[in-house]
Amino acid sequence: MSLLEIQNCTMKFGGLTCVDSLNTHVGKDELVGMIGPNGAGKTTVFNIITGVYNPTGGDVLFKDKSVVPLKPYEVAEIGISRTFQNIRLFQSLSVRDNIRVSFVKSIKAGFFISTFHIGNYLKEEKEIEDKIDELLDIFGLLDVRDEYAVSLPYGEQRKVEIVRALATSPELLLLDEPAAGMNPTEKTELMSLIKMVKDKFKISILLIEHDMKVVMGVCERIIVLDYGKKIAEGNPEVIKNDPKVIEAYLGETHH
Amino acid sequence: MKNKLLFLSSLVLVFIINLFAGNIDPYYYTILIYIGINIILASSLNLINGYTGQFSLGHAGFMAIGAYLSVSFSTYFAPFFIDTFGQGVFGNSISFIILLFIGGIAAAIAGIIVGVPSLRLKGDYLAITTLGFAEIIRVVIQSLDVVGASQGFRGAYIFENGMKAAMIPADMSSVPYVFYSVPKYTNFFWTFAFVVIIIFFISNLMSSSYGRGFLAVKDDEIAAESMGVNTTKFKVIAFVSGAFFAGIAGALYGHFNLYINPEDFNFLKSVEIVVMVILGGMGSMVGVIIAAVILTILPEFLRGIAEYRMIIYALLLIIMMLLRPQGLFGVQLRPKKKK
């Protein structure tokens, strides 16, 4: 059974069909890419999975349970985390505090313990602190942990977003155009980073990306969307040679 | 441990200062108490507007609920409090703690009632809803005879036949009665004890990992929600705790002034508290406290120039906002990145 199962999912905004009867899945420990021209509905699929939108038809199952009725924070609680196409870091918080927010959902100390600093408060804070430092160390961000997250260079902000998503201990990580705005060196670095994340944290990844080099380089399976419909699915080799995909990206061939 | 030690020693300090507070000139003493009450009001609103980023414009409404409810209890039930706890220093203290919490909890309940449905709104909409709520409270009080309606409330008449009222009804003028005025419980100690409590409450909460949830809600609700933060819950917690302390401030105010009038809690009072928060710097505790002190003292300093007083007061606010839009101690954040 797959980790994530998208069944006949449709999303309509008024008369516009953004996602049209999409059927697909993401298996355990799988790295799946989702590509398609602008406006193909990729981010909408992410928003459906994370509970931002309720699909107008069909269902999305995560570990055999529907995520459709869940609110975004409940989706995060059951183990789906995401990054954003336009970086959404907390601008008034440091790198470390940005990541600390991901622990809010799992903190045992509630309102009262956090107010009075009683019980296991200090012990738990220390544990969180250590976990944050450990994560930052893996991504080479330990030196900048006390800086405002939004003051970092673009590539590092993307990294902080990935760390923040990982800090919620997800089983499925959704990356929305992680390579957007990166230079070729940063992209190469990102590719090895994504592979490392998948192996080290043993999670499944669903990735939206425009950069073919990145997608072809890391993904095991690729889903191609065009106008909300799935037009192809398969491994990178198959996708590269699929006439429908070429048509969607390069336009119709004239005879 | 260090934290709790500091908290206790601050309370002891407040207690010791209180022993000498009797020597302070009554005029300065009054200003001192108002400074304390305004610090509580501004800090509690800072929790909602500054830290959590929700624009509430009805703080005077919560203050009114706290003031009216605790003052009603201390007058209408005065015989009960006197019989149960006596009128010694110790008995009065217990009575007052109970009365303060009655005010605080009533305001907190009002906070839940207003907050749960309206915190789904954002920005201007929430501001208008909370403003409307505060006006409703004021207008309702204005027409409630049991608390003196628009004439204000200074105590309760308890008649020999068991009737209780805020004013002597025309047909009861011959019935003997006892008048219970509002007891003057509020002093330096109680006011500044709650200043210490709210400072520790906010700094403890905001320095905890849990407290980062509030700041995350302010910065980016969508991102916070996606990281598993129940944004509605955090907004309601901030709103209700803010309301609770506003209720306490109201109870302190009522038991100091000994006379409360619905006009004390009008729209301008709400605006005054919002100005303190903005002037001090949203989300900066030190800034907001200093702004509360300055804005309480400033009108007093300007008394000398009588009729031009409010013009200069307003002018200073405008200059302040032009020179330091982020507030006295606010952090200048980088402009939000656009892509």
pLDDT digits (tens, 9 = 90+) for A51-91: 988 999 889 999 989 999 999 999 999 999 999 988 899 98
Give the pLDDT of residue B77.
87
B186-217 as b/e: b if 16+ CB within 10 A: bbbbbbbbbbbbbbbbbebbbebbbbbbbbbb
Whether residue B87 is contained in a domain is answered as yes
CATH number, domain at B116?
Answer: 1.10.3470
Q: Do residues B204 and B6 lie in contact, with contact meaning Cβ atoms separated by under 8 Å?
A: no
Residues of B in contact with A81 (CB under 8 A): 226-227
Whether residue B333 is contained in a domain is answered as no
Answer whether B209 sits within 8 Å of A103, measured CB to CB: yes
**Is A213 near chain B, with CB under 8 Å?**
no
pLDDT digits (tens, 9 = 90+) for B20-30: 888 888 899 99
Domain ranges of chain A: 1-79+170-255, 93-167
- Strand A80-82 with A65-66, pairing: unpaired
pLDDT beyond 90 at B193: yes
Answer whether A111 sits within 8 Å of B283, measured CB to CB: no
> Residues 146-185, chain A: which have Cβ within 8 Å of B?
148, 150-151, 164-165, 167-168, 181
Residues of B in contact with A128 (CB under 8 A): 209
Answer whether B339 sits within 8 Å of A114, measured CB to CB: no
Q: Which CATH class is domain A1-79+170-255?
A: alpha beta
Compute the mean pLDDT over every residue in chain A, rounded to the nearest whole number: 88
Token pair in block for residue B79: 């015989």
Answer whether B209 sits within 8 Å of A89, measured CB to CB: no
Give the pLDDT of residue A253.
60
Answer whether A109 sits within 8 Å of B208, measured CB to CB: yes
pLDDT digits (tens, 9 = 90+) for B52-106: 988 899 999 999 999 999 999 998 888 888 888 878 888 888 889 999 999 999 9
Give the pLDDT of residue A1.
65
Give the pLDDT of residue B314.
82
pLDDT digits (tens, 9 = 90+) for A27-54: 988 999 998 888 888 889 999 999 988 9
Answer whether B226 sits within 8 Å of A91, measured CB to CB: no
Whether residue B257 is contained in a domain is answered as yes
Residues of B in contact with A103 (CB under 8 A): 209
**Is A112 near chain B, with CB under 8 Å?**
no
Which residue's entry shows tokens 């260079």?
Answer: A153
In DSSP terms, B178 is beta-bridged to B158
Residue B1 — pLDDT band, cuts 50, 70, 90?
Answer: low
Q: Cα distance from A174 to chain B (closest Cα, Å)?
A: 11
Q: How far apart are CA A173 and CA A81, in angstroms?
A: 5
Answer whether B227 sits within 8 Å of A76, measured CB to CB: yes
Residue B318 — pLDDT band, cuts 50, 70, 90?
Answer: confident
Compute the mean pLDDT over every residue in chain B, rounded to the nearest whole number: 87
Residue B335 — pLDDT band, cuts 50, 70, 90?
Answer: very low
Residue B339 — pLDDT band, cuts 50, 70, 90?
Answer: very low
Give the pLDDT of residue B84.
81
Question: What pTM does this model have?
Answer: 0.89
A104: closest chain B residue by CA = B210
Q: How far apart are CA A50 and CA A60, in angstroms?
A: 10
Percent of chain B with pLDDT over 90: 38
Which one is predicted more confidently, B189 or B164?
B189
Whether residue B311 is contained in a domain is answered as yes
Residues of A in contact with B237 (CB under 8 A): 111
Nearest to B225 among A73, A102, A150 (CB): A73
Residue B331 — pLDDT band, cuts 50, 70, 90?
Answer: low
Give the pLDDT of residue B111.
93
Give the pLDDT of residue B92.
85
pLDDT beyond 50 at A7: yes
Token pair in block for residue B41: 């009001």
Q: Cα distance from A157 to chain B (closest Cα, Å)?
A: 11
Give the pLDDT of residue B38.
95
Percent of chain A with pLDDT over 70: 98
B268-302 as b/e: b if 16+ CB within 10 A: ebbebbbbbbbbbbbbbbebbbbbbbbbbeeeeeb
| Domains in chain B, number | 1
- Strand A204-208 with A229-234, pairing: unpaired
pLDDT digits (tens, 9 = 90+) for B10-59: 888 888 888 888 888 889 999 999 999 999 999 999 999 989 988 899 99
Residues of A in contact with B284 (CB under 8 A): none
> The domain containing residue B130 runs over which residues?
2-323
